[in-house]
Amino acid sequence: MKNNMLLWDETIFRDPTVLELDYLPEQFMHRDSQLQSLIYSLKPAVKGMRPINCLVYGPPGTGKTSAVLKVFEEIETHTSDVVLVKINCQMDSTRFAVVSRIYRKLFNIDPPSSGVAFRKLFEKIVLKLIEKDKVMVVCLDDINYLFHGGHADEIMYSILRAHEQYPGVKMGVIAIVSDTGKLYRFDPKVSSVFLPEEIEFPSYSYDEVGDIISSRIQLAFYPEVVPEEVREKIVNYVDLTGDLRVGIDLLKRSGLNAEKRASKNISEDDVDKAYESSRLLHLRRNISSLSDNEKEILRLVAENDEIKAGELYELFTGNNELGYTRFYGLVNKLKDSHYLDVSFSGEGMRGRTRIIRLNYPADDVIKCIRG
């Protein structure tokens, strides 16, 4: 057998667990100022006070969740008097699901599954915190998913105003918004009490992505498994999407592709093949956070290549009763988040017609809408 071939029980992975998406990196590079802001905001909780609420925002895959979890981990080594709950709002997307998750963390048992109102469960949580003199920090990760049904406002309102109804309770919120354009808006009832420390997670620069990917390669693979040109190719792909998750997924998939060929190193071809699946990871995740109306608009544009705004509205209202202004607001949002491109043509009744196109391949968008 050639010496660049793997024996059947050999592997190129030194530690595959570091390529899993729930792996929390020990070394968390290029996020010092964000980690400092989080520590500053949560420090009061460690001293038995109400924490400063935070709004963490930035594009997908820029380390928001991991940064919060790093700080939670750190706090847990110092004290057990702060109850830290992280909620994945994509999975727990109603206020009942969220409060159940908090209940489970505090009481270590499932809440009664039926017949109990949100208010009742919430009250049990609050009374327990007061009785045990504990501070609670609730991290609502990807709170975008709670916006559609109006759940975000209700939950935020309950947590942030709990002390008015139950004096002495100490609760705080870290809201994580995965969005490029700050496209969230809370109800005025909430914004009047939610005056958060805003912590921005901008996209990583090319060099920063390079550092993070190199460090992950060192942990994940044996030396020389990933040649320099392959590393660069992966960094370029991450740079295209801005999502580090794509890079980590690419490392895993291209490593598996190399092993499939029984090769001791990853080739550029292994990465290109892996990218076919990894690139959809990014798009699928983003599209899944859109509302049904937004997905419908994307689907119609995808099916029509390019389309005039008026025609798109007509198709849309075939199954929908949204007014033109609301409809066009959605088109604008999709444009701001770079799904759509809107340009003007010279024709049309008033001289200028808006032409709408997709910024992604139509097939990819349709695949991702289907889930």
Ligand X SMILES: Nc1ncnc2c1ncn2[C@@H]1O[C@H](COP(=O)(O)OP(=O)(O)OP(=O)(O)O)[C@@H](O)[C@H]1O
* Interaction site with ligand X (CB under 6 A): 21, 23, 25, 28-31, 60-66, 142, 178, 201, 212, 244-245, 248
Instruction: Detail the DSSP E strand segments found in the chain.
Output: 54-58, 82-88, 135-141, 170-178, 197-200, 306-308, 340-345, 353-358
66 is in an annotated binding site: yes
Are the C-beta atoms of 13 and 221 separated by less than 8 Å? yes
Query: If you ran DSSP here, which 8-state letter would residue 358 be given?
Result: E
**119 annotated among ligand-binding-site residues:** no
Least separation in angstroms between residue 306's CB and ligand X is 29
For 70, list phi and psi in degrees, rounded to 5: -60, -45
Which residue, 33 or 191, has its beta carbon nearer to ligand X?
Answer: 33
Write down the residue that tokens 């060099």 correspond to. 207
Report the residue number, 30 or 273, with the smaller CB distance to ligand X. 30
Tell me the two tokens of residue 303.
């099916």
> What amino acid occupies position 259?
E
By Cβ distance, which residue is nearest to ligand X? 63
Q: Which is nearer to ligand X, 25 or 348 (CB)?
A: 25
- As measured in angstroms, the least distance from the Cβ of 59 to ligand X is 7
Q: How far is CA 39 from CA 7, 70, 140, in A?
A: 48, 10, 17
Q: How far is the CB of 193 from ligand X (least distance, A)?
A: 25
Spatial separation of the C-alpha atoms in residues 175 and 171, rounded to whole Å: 13
Distance spanning both ends of the chain, measured CA to CA: 43
Give the nearer residue to ligand X in terms of CB position, either 30 or 163. 30
In terms of CB distance, is 32 or 131 closer to ligand X? 32
Smallest gap from Cβ 95 to ligand X, in A, equals 20
Closest by alpha carbon to 230, among 272, 291, 185? 272
Q: In what order do the strands lie in the sheet with 306-308?
A: 306-308, 353-358, 340-345
Measure the CA–CA gap between 219 and 243, rounded to whole angstroms: 20
Token pair recorded at residue 204: 């990583």
Between CA 160 and CA 194 the distance in angstroms is 7
- Name beta bridge partners: 135: 82, 170
Find the shortest distance in angstroms from Cβ 23 to ligand X. 6
User: Is 216 annotated for ligand binding?
Assistant: yes
Is 204 annotated to bind a ligand? Reply is yes
Residue closer to ligand X by CB (options 35, 342) is: 35
Measured from the CB of residue 289, what is the shortest distance to ligand X in angstroms? 9
Q: Considering beta carbons, is residue 6 or 280 the nearer one to ligand X?
A: 280
State the minimum distance, in angstroms, from the CB of residue 315 to ligand X: 31
Q: Which residues are annotated as a binding site for ATP?
A: 62-66, 204, 216
